[in-house]
Amino acid sequence: MAEERFGESAACWRFDAELPAYLEGEAAPQVTAHARECQFCEVVLADLEELRSASRALPREEPSRAVWANIRTALAAEGIIHEPVRAWQRWFGFLGVSHSPAPIGALAGLLILASMLLVPSKDLRRVGSIGGASEGARVAIASIGYPGQDSDLLRTVQDLEGSFQARRMSLEPSVKAIYEKSLESLNTSIRECTESVQREPANILAREYLLAAYTRKAEVLASALEFDAR
């Protein structure tokens, strides 16, 4: 069949080129005309038509809220969209407490900012990350045998953590406490597993726990961002 198709290449190539437009509903009389003449292209067209009609009958699945939250976070991070900001948030925005809903929150933000400015820069870096992956952890996970996957996962976790840090002030205290406790627990497991893997590179179980901890951390951060987006 394939040889037959190669035999009538010019018409078949044109059929191929015009097929996407035809399937999207554009007028392309050459497509149907050619399908009537070429058995191979007729079968291709019939299959695609059948797929199209079958897919129309499928129920429409709504993507999970986590998907929307992640898309929104990515778009906001790239500056493509901007979150709506209230007037008072704009006033306090330059102080870095833009998501705190109450004036007392703004005041607390000011105090925190003031104390952070008074802390030496080395300590500030430590405070700034909520127990995020240390440099040692990055080196370790990059060298434990899943180079492609792990670096992607690490980047994802870092991106999500950046978004979470920017938004955590807007979370209700009780919810924030749950997320922070969970993240602390996961950061502990990341730190301990990293040490295990560094000590014993052949320890498969420790590697699995390390990978699982990063995956869980990404899920928890995505859940926190989704919660914030409610």
Which of 186, 211, 222, 225: binder of other proteins (CB under 8 A)?
Answer: 186
What is the spatial distance between Cα 172 and Cα 168, in angstroms, rounded to a whole number? Answer: 9
Enumerate the H helices of the chain as residue ranges. 2-7, 9-23, 29-37, 39-57, 65-77, 87-93, 103-118, 121-128, 135-142, 147-167, 173-199, 204-228
Which of residues 30 and 196 has its CB atom nearest to other proteins in the complex?
196
Pick from 129, 165, 185, 198 the residue near other proteins by CB under 8 A: 185
Per CB under 8 A, 179 contacts other proteins: yes
Cα dihedral 153, 159, 162, 167 sign: negative
| Residue number, 106 or 193, with CB nearest to other proteins | 193
What tokens does 141 get?
A: 């996970």
Structure tokens of 65?
């809220």
Give the contact letters, 89-108, x = binds to other proteins (CB under 8 A), - = no: ------------x-------
Site for other proteins (CB under 8 A): how many residues?
29
Give residues 191-210 in contact with other proteins (rule: CB under 8 A). Answer: 192-193, 196, 200, 202-206, 209
To the nearest 10°, report the CA torsion of 169, 175, 176, 181: 180
Token pair of 189 as six digits: 């497991």
- Where on the chain is the footprint of other proteins (CB under 8 A)? 101, 172, 174-175, 178-179, 181-182, 185-186, 188-189, 192-193, 196, 200, 202-206, 209, 212-213, 216, 220, 223, 227, 230
